[in-house]
Chains A and B, each alone.
Chain A
Amino acid sequence: MDTEKRLNELNERLRYVRDIFGARENENITLLATKLGDFQARERTLSEPERIRALAALEDLFAFLEKKLEAELTPMDKVRIVRHPQRICLKDILENVYDNYTEIGGRDEHSIDPAMLIARAYITRRKGKKVYNQPVMVIGQEKGHGQEFRNGGSVKPWGNAKALHYMKVAEIENIPIHTYVFTPGSYPVEDWPGAAQQIARNLYEMAALKVPVVSVFSEGGSGGAEAIGLADTRLMLSHGYYSVISPEGAAAIESGIRQGQRAPAELIETCARRLCITADDNLKNGYVDRIIQEPALGARVDDYGFFKQLRQEIIRATDEVVLSVKGIKLFRAMALRRRQRRGAPIDAEAIYVRWDLNTAARERLLSRRYAKFMRLSRHAFLDKRPAVKKACSACHDLGWSLYSFFRYDLWRKHHRRIAHAMAEMGAEVDVVKERVSRPWRRIFEKLGGGAAVPEANVERLTQLSAWEADGDAAEGDTAWRYVSPRAAEDRAVTCPNSEESGCLDLWAPDLFGDFAGVCSYCGHHFPMEYQWYLFNVFDERSVFEFNAEVESGNPLDYSGFDAKLEKAKQKLGRKSACMTFEAKVKGVKVVVAMLMAPFRGGSVGAAEGEKFIRAADRARKKHFPFLAYVHGTAGIRIQEGVNGVIQMPRCTMAVRRYIEAGGLYLVVYDTNSYAGPVASFLGCSPYQFAVRSANIGFAGPGVIKETTGLDIPPDYHRAYSALSRGHIQGIWDRRDIRNNLYQSLLTMGGRNLYYR
């Protein structure tokens, strides 16, 4: 009977190998299949000892060839490994890595979102007779070995909200968080809240979560992964992937196929390779800190040795994070480091580290986390300035930091105190003056001075008064400084709403000139060029660009992308999709980061992220309000792979730092804003506004159909839906952006612009 069981196991292993290698033929697999087939054919004829010997030989052969096959794994094979139902799941980890756990926030299908699993777990360490129970909050996606209701680990917005809730609980309880990323991506619905909206909230909160966070990546699908993946230490399973988009998705975009069609398998393979999604790639690029080695062909449910190793790694990672910010740590940190250097199999449990942090350590933890993320992806953009210039600009930055410190942190505090005191004194003096002069005035009035009747100022009522109309150049043909080139054509434009609203066709020079691209019948907003905003929203000649040299590159050497990038740069005369500048709105100075749709769809890569962060920094140092103007963004630039995705946490952290310093961060969406940026540094702003033309969401209608099978209504992503679910705070008419912006700056910034 025993042999039968072992034989079944071998069959299972063969099937697994075949699953992983997909349709690919491989001599090793063929060999395994024939050997196993041979054995099964002659099994009956063999005697018992012979059978056992042959079986053992066969098992050795399997082990040997599996090792051999391991070396042949392509990135796409690894994708298939993590998607395989036999892949370890979070529940297995809870069972085998932690010593005790209680699942919270739902059980199986009776959960607000079964794809998100949360547990309060214990790690028990024994030192001699002493037993230390160390509580942690375990958060992660649960794929449930293919259980249907788990939705493949694709978490809905409310699942992420649940995760955030328990992160905050962990913060209050002062216990570390272990997150396990097992998601192909977030479930792209726009309900209450929307996918992007919730991920942005998660990122914003995690950016300043005051407890150690360790995350383990098995399947890191873009935004869904980031929703719980912002951690002090990021570990990765050796057979996992961490990517900006699924290889299928990339292939679909690459080949430009329509909905419902499938991209060819070879293209998917190629895309998987180009996107650099494996653990080794991510370690090389710096996006994960360590790889946890899995057994050949990936860890499966019954690889108990692996669980042991995982336990060691996760304890060690948590220890390291805690020790790096703790007060008393000297020897323990040394010991940990020495062991690591020796490469000896570590026994992390041998050294005891308390995992709670005091206030000072928490602050250190945050600044370490910030510094860690700021270091990432520095290699992934180009800056072709000579070294001297770079040094100069670094000095300039430093100068500003110092100036900012003296000006705002030292001088203003005292200055304000003096000003307040003076104002109070003045008011006191006024009262005294009034009291003293009262008898004199009474005498004067009695003498016939009396209260004068207001005299009619005839001249003022009938003569021309001085008036400077607010900046609008009415002398020209339109009120706008920049007029779209489309206004030069003599043609009539049909409004897309003409069927329902009965809009008459508009003459292009009127529509794109005077009307600023707004249908005068129904108010439909036609998209406008980014220059329109640049010249018509901000004061004349007030725009001063900085960091223009930061240039988008091709960090993954994604084949064919260089040419496309070059074309975009040529076409627009800009080096990246993000333009950062200082400008004035009716005299109020602002720092602006603008994402421009014509440059690769306004997608965000390393250069764009870096510019955004530098702009936020500049606004913080100069105490200016910070405006993110999104002319359009298609999401994260997929050709940059994780170099792009990492901008989500990076920029969010920069924004958080700016807001916590007291700044005013405004976001204005214009045309189409989707995916990563909206789900992070844009979506986290407390003050987001949209122009009526805006579409805001996580994934476009095609992707939603593809991934969820849902047919969405046509107005699903319209600004009004975003308004009703609370993502944005208001919808603006394009012609009023300038006024509304000024109004927002006044009401949200307060009198002492912009620092509380």
Chain B
Amino acid sequence: MQEHKVLVANRGEIAMRIVQACRKLGLDFVCVYTHEDRHSGHVALARSLGGERAACRVSSYHDANELMAVADHAGATAVHPGYGFFAEDFRFARRATNRDRKLIFIGPSWRVIRELGDKINTKRLARSLGVPTVPGSDKPIYDELEAEDIAASLFAFQAEQGIKRPMVLVKASAGGGGMGIEEVLDPDMFRAVYRRVRNYSRRQFHDEGVLIEQRIEDFNHLEVQVVSDRSGKNPVHFGTRNCTVQSTGRQKRIEVAPGFAPSEIAYTFDAQKVLDDIIGHSLTLARKVGYDSVGTWEWIVTRQGEPYLMEVNTRIQVENGVSAAISRIRGKNGVDIIAEQIRTGLGEPLGYTQEDVTFEGVGIEYRIIAEAPEDRFAPWVGRIDEFRWRDEPWLALHTQIPTDVAYDIPTEYDPNLALAIIWGKDLSEAKARGRGFLDGLTLKGENRQGGMRSNIAFLGDRTERLLVF
């Protein structure tokens, strides 16, 4: 395995974590950066660990041609896409693996990415395996009568369940990224909304197909972390995460592992069963598609304790660390899921089974961000003068902010300032440590409008009710 060289086709925090993982595995690597990113942490890290030639300048992270050229120039044999950019682009994965000078795409094989990248396909696949999905249609509906029929059933279904405000969602089946989605509160309004969405879809996507689903408002967002090797036969899970604390723009702010704490909090449903179920379902689906890398199965759990599979993220994520914090392989901690992804991606077998993976304690990940939660999470840009925290054995903090000099937040960077992962032996200890950490955090800065804004108070406020449904 040591003869491989990995092209890190990403930037910032994830590029740094990939580089560190490569180092740990003894792999050679090469990074890319754009002109704007020339002072970024990942470039400095790449140069310090791999020498001057370990970072190549490109004009854009989005240009596959340039990345391929860099790979050929540097003699790379594999490419790690990180998240964003090409991470879930099956065409990029296919190009890497099918081109004349082949590259290993560190991620699932392109067919898997394509299969799970299509929401309708995923939903149908799930239903074919008896995995629960959001009630509604699992295929594009072209017929108005059929659409009305489904909508009426959905309203009745929600009424039966005792949902106070039944709602139906009408989406353009060819759409994505929130385009062409509308809610219906009143069954009598359905036809008008349906036609509007259908016409929009026809104009925009040249397709009249529409999906009709239940709109679930009151839910918890859970995730199952899955890791598998190239054989695709024996996927292993690394537990669940609860990512319900989000900004108004549905960006995650706090992740907690595991997903519920039935031993400490009382739920109206059998929380342990829900966790076991979603893990079981996720692994069933992973086995079915022959999932051969690291991925996240996203679930929503309703107040009634019904889990529904939302989608599969066929990539590494920001919040892997919090799952790693509570996981032990053969009793050892220090699990690195990115390293596992690289190792198995390059063809090594996993080397352990589900029995070898155990869980201990509770992890909380805070995303410390310069923003104003009270002002619809508006980002704050300015100079950070002081950023200090107390080091603890139970704390891991990843940041690109220097602690010794003042730092200007560059507008083109992610607003993420730091990721703090806190471990406690149970939820109450983790929460207490989390509060303690947030209280002891010093973050000061200013811009022309005034003092620094951050989400620390918001995070502290939410810590109280973590995992409470």
A residues neighboring B (CB under 8 Å): 453-458, 460-465, 467, 477, 490, 492, 504-505, 507, 509-510, 514, 733, 736, 739-740
A456 and B62 form a contact (CB under 8 A): no
Complex: how many Å from CA A75 to CA B292?
Answer: 77
B63 contacts A461, C-beta separation under 8 Å: no
Does the CB pair B150–A461 fall under 8 Å? yes
CB distance from B277 to the nearest CB of A (A): 15
Instruction: Please give me the residue from chain A that is nearest to B135 by CB atom.
Output: A461
Query: Are A454 and B156 touching (Cβ within 8 A)?
Result: yes
Task: Please tell me the number of chain B residues within 8 Å of chain A, measured between CB atoms.
Answer: 33
Interface-facing stretch out of B91-99, B232-240, B261-269: B91-99
Q: How far is the CA of A691 from the CA of B289 in the complex (A)?
A: 38
B133 at the interface (CB under 8 A from A): yes
Cβ contacts under 8 Å, B150 to chain A: 460-461
CB distance from A399 to the nearest CB of B (A): 40
Contact between B157 and A456 (Cβ–Cβ < 8 Å)?
yes
B355 within 8 A of A: no
Question: At the interface with chain A, which of B124-132, B188-196, B436-444, B452-460?
Answer: B124-132
Which residues of chain A are near B128, meaning CB under 8 Å?
464
B153 x A457 contact (CB < 8 A): yes
Question: Of residues 135 to 155 in B, which have CB atoms within 8 Å of A's CB atoms?
Answer: 135-139, 150, 152-155
Contacts A456-B160, A462-B127 supplied; 13 other A-B pairs, CB < 8 Å: A456-B153, A456-B157, A458-B135, A462-B135, A463-B127, A465-B139, A467-B139, A490-B99, A490-B100, A504-B64, A505-B65, A507-B65, A507-B99
Closest A residue to B127 using CB positions: A464
B206-A739 in contact (CB<8A): yes
Docked Cα-Cα span, A514 to B89, in Å, equals: 13
Bound-complex Cα distance A12 to B151 (A): 93
Most chain B Cβ neighbours within 10 Å, of A454, A456, A461: A461
Q: Which residue of B lies closest to A736 (CB)?
A: B206
A/B interface sample: 17 pairs, CB < 8 A: A454-B155, A455-B156, A456-B153, A456-B154, A456-B156, A456-B160, A457-B153, A462-B133, A464-B128, A465-B139, A467-B124, A490-B100, A492-B65, A504-B60, A504-B62, A510-B94, A736-B206
A510 cross-chain contacts in B, Cβ below 8 A? 91, 94-95
Contacting pair B152 A454 (CB below 8 A): yes
A492 to B65: give the CA distance in the assembly, Å: 7
Classify the interface of chain B: helix, strand, loop or mixed: helix
Chain A contacts for B98, CB-based, 8 A? 490, 509
In the complex the two chains form, what is the Cα distance from A461 to B154 in whole Å? 7
- Pick the residue among A461, A504, A736, A739 that contacts B136 (CB under 8 A): A461
Given the known interface contacts A457-B153, A492-B65, the answer about A465 and B132 at a Cβ–Cβ threshold of 8 Å is no
**Chain B positions within 8 Å of A464 at CB level:** 124, 127-128, 138
- In the bound complex, residues from chain A placing their C-beta under 8 Å from that of B206 are 733, 736, 739-740
Q: Are A504 and B65 in contact (CB under 8 A)?
A: yes
B32: min CB distance to chain A, Å: 15
In the complex, are the beta carbons of B91 and A458 less than 8 A apart? no
Chain B contacts for A733, CB-based, 8 A: 206
Question: Chain A: which residue is nearest B64 at the CB level?
Answer: A507
Chain A residue contacts of B127, Cβ below 8 A: 462-464
Give the distance in Å from the alpha carbon of A505 to the alpha carbon of B63 in the complex.
8
**Measured CA separation A83–B128 after assembly (Å):** 79
Determine which of A463, A509, A736, A739 lies in contact with B95 in the assembled complex, contact meaning CB atoms within 8 Å: A509
B201-224 contacts to A (CB < 8 Å): 206-207, 214
- Chain A residues lying within 8 Å of B152, measured Cβ to Cβ, are 454
Within the complex, the shortest CB–CB distance from B458 to chain A, in Å, comes to: 36
| Minimum C-beta distance from B60 to chain A (A) | 8
Closest chain B CB from A515 CB (angstroms)? 9
User: A492 to chain B: which residues have CB within 8 Å?
Assistant: 65
Within the complex, what minimum Cβ distance (angstroms) separates B155 from chain A? 8
Smallest Cβ-Cβ distance to B133: which chain A residue: A462
List of A residues within 8 angstroms of B60 by Cβ: 504
A467 to B143, CA, bound (A): 13
Provide the B62-84 mask, 1 if CB < 8 A to any CB of A, else 0.
Answer: 11110000000000000000000
Are A460 and B153 interface neighbours, CB within 8 A? yes
Residues of A near B138 (CB, < 8 A) are 464-465, 467
Nearest Cβ distance between residue A452 and chain B, in whole angstroms?
11
Closest B residue to A732 using CB positions:
B206
Q: Which residues of A contact B214 (CB under 8 A)?
A: 461
B153 & A461 in contact (Cβ 8 Å cutoff): yes
In the complex, what residue of chain B is closest to A474 when comparing beta carbons? B121
* Cα A510 to Cα B114 with chains together (Å): 14
- CB contacts (< 8 Å) of A505 on chain B: these are 63, 65
Q: Does the CB pair A461–B157 fall under 8 Å? A: yes
- Bound-state CA distance A509–B92 (Å) is 11
4 closest Cβ pairs, A-B complex: A456-B157, A464-B127, A456-B156, A461-B135
Q: How far apart sit A453 and B160, CA to CA, in the bound complex (Å)? A: 11
Contacts of B100 in A (CB 8 A): 490
Q: How far is the CA of A645 from the CA of B238 in the complex (A)?
A: 76
A455 to B153, CA, bound (A): 6
Determine which of A454, A465, A736, A740 lies in contact with B137 in the assembled complex, contact meaning CB atoms within 8 Å. Answer: A465
A509 / chain B contacts, CB cutoff of 8 Å: 94-95, 98
Q: How far is the CA of A680 from the CA of B156 in the complex (A)?
A: 61
Residues of A within 8 A of B62 (CB): 504
- Chain B residue with the shortest CB-CB distance to A460: B153
The smallest C-beta distance from B214 to any residue of chain A, in angstroms, reads 8
CB distance from A553 to the nearest CB of B (A): 43
The complex places the Cα of A505 from the Cα of B69 at a distance, in Å, of 12
Tell me the nearest residue of chain A to B101, going by C-beta. A490
